[in-house]
Amino acid sequence: MTDPCVRQWQDIAPADAVDTDLEFDMTITAPLNEGGERCPWPWEPQQLVGAPLGQYHCGYCGAMVIAGVPHIDYRELGRASA
Ligand SMILES: [Zn+2]
């Protein structure tokens, strides 16, 4: 069930998402963390290109993500509980 009015969060640039909170904004998709919760602001990991962090916990939803790579969606991995 895909609503054509819903935008993909990946299609939105971080600079355009400053005032966005995906935990409540259902007009935009959001990746899920391991607990099946929507990430409020998933644009952080992809901006850390070159950061020597590797894997770290997203500061917004706590999901394990990878610096320099778009936020992982645990729903796609089949590991989210919701
Ligand atoms: Zn997150």
Q: What is the pLDDT of residues 62-77, one digit of tens each?
A: 999 999 999 999 988 7
Q: What angle do CA 40, 15, 31 make, to 5 degrees?
A: 30
Cα of 4 from ligand 1 centre, angstroms = 24
pTM: 0.85
pLDDT for 53? 78
Cα of 39 from ligand 1 centre, angstroms = 4
- Residue from 78, 79, 74, 81 nearest 31 by CA: 74
Q: Indicate the Cα dihedral angle 57, 36, 9, 5, nearest 10°.
A: -170
Cα of 58 from ligand 1 centre, angstroms = 5
pLDDT for 52? 84
Where the chain has pLDDT below 70, the residues are: 1-4, 79-82
pLDDT for 51? 82
**Under a CB-based contact definition with an 8 Å cutoff, are residues 70 and 14 in contact?**
no
Rounded Cα–Cα distance for residues 43 and 58 (Å): 10
* Percentage of the residues of the chain whose pLDDT score is greater than 70: 90
